[in-house]
């Protein structure tokens, strides 16, 4: 018991995101073994073969820290650090499922969507906002890992 649910498969392979909104899918991170505390890396999204967004991430115990810069239209670049709390549920046979907790409503979700400069669950997304092509994200500065 207590082992990772390795060998389990998530139904459909998550296809590359080609729509304008950026998605953060916790299944992708888990699949790539990127949810262990101390793990840091960069997530990139592709759109029409162009890099649509890049976000640095750091995993700490029980949470995922996102680090990026955001620009809306003509305004100055804004440094954004978003903390996404993680939750886990366990199956009777020892497997586990990792969830993202929506920063605003706290609901367990598998996918968060970029909504302006924040990642929110599907229920809180504003479809009209997504349609604006003004969001630009570039890598933020390196994030020190706090003890
Ligand atoms: Zn929510």
More confident residue, 7 or 110: 110
Q: Which DSSP category does 28 fall into?
A: H
Going edge to edge, which strands form the sheet with 111-115? 23-25, 111-115, 118-120
- Spatial neighbors of 127 by CB under 8 A, at least 6 apart, are none
pLDDT digits (tens, 9 = 90+) for 93-121: 888 899 999 999 999 999 998 887 889 99
Question: Which residues are within 5 Å of ligand 1 (an ion), measured at CB?
Answer: 102, 104-105, 107, 121, 124
Mapped onto helix, strand or coil, the DSSP state of residue 106 is: coil
| Residue at 147 is within a domain | no
| Residue at 13 is within a domain | no
- Inter-CA distances, 3 with 27, 90, 99, Å: 17, 11, 17
Q: How far is the CA of 1 from the centre of ligand 1 (A)?
A: 32
More confident residue, 2 or 94: 94
Mapped onto helix, strand or coil, the DSSP state of residue 105 is: coil
Q: Which DSSP category does 116 fall into?
A: T
Q: How far is the CA of 17 from the centre of ligand 1 (A)?
A: 21
Instruction: Place 131 in a pLDDT band, splitting at 50, 70 and 90.
Output: very low
Q: How far is the CA of 36 from the centre of ligand 1 (A)?
A: 24
| Residue at 5 is within a domain | no
- Given a contact cutoff of 8 angstroms between Cβ atoms, the answer to whether 4 and 28 are in contact is no
120 membership: H or E segment, kind and range: strand 118-120
Q: How far is the CA of 105 from the centre of ligand 1 (A)?
A: 4
| Residue at 146 is within a domain | no
User: In terms of residue numbers, what domain contains 85?
Assistant: 23-139
Q: How far is the CA of 145 from the centre of ligand 1 (A)?
A: 26
CA atoms within 13 A of residue 139's CA, in its CB half-sphere? 11
| Residue at 6 is within a domain | no
Mapped onto helix, strand or coil, the DSSP state of residue 128 is: helix
Q: How far is the CA of 51 from the centre of ligand 1 (A)?
A: 27
pLDDT digits (tens, 9 = 90+) for 29-63: 888 888 889 988 888 776 655 556 778 889 999 99
| Residue at 115 is within a domain | yes
- Given a contact cutoff of 8 angstroms between Cβ atoms, the answer to whether 136 and 71 are in contact is yes
State how many domains the chain has: 1
In this model, does residue 3 exceed pLDDT 60? no
In this model, does residue 143 exceed pLDDT 60? no
pTM comes to 0.70
Residue-level pLDDT at 109? 95
| Residue at 4 is within a domain | no
Residue-level pLDDT at 47? 62
More confident residue, 122 or 13: 122
pLDDT digits (tens, 9 = 90+) for 12-29: 333 333 345 678 889 988
| Residue at 43 is within a domain | yes
């Amino acid at each position: 018991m207590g082992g990772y649910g390795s060998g389990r498969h998530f139904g459909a392979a998550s296809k590359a995101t080609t729509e304008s909104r950026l998605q953060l899918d916790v299944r992708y991170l888990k699949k790539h073994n990127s949810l262990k505390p101390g793990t840091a890396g960069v997530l990139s999204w592709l759109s029409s073969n162009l890099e649509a967004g890049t976000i640095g991430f750091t995993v700490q115990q029980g949470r995922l820290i996102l680090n990026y810069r955001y620009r809306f239209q003509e305004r100055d670049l804004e440094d954004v650090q978003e903390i996404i709390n993680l939750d886990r549920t366990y199956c009777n046979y020892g497997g586990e499922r990792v969830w993202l907790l929506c920063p605003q409503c706290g609901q367990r979700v598998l996918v968060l969507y970029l909504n302006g400069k924040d990642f929110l669950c599907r229920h809180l997304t504003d479809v009209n906002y997504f349609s604006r092509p003004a969001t630009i994200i570039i890598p933020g500065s390196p994030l020190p890992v706090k003890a």
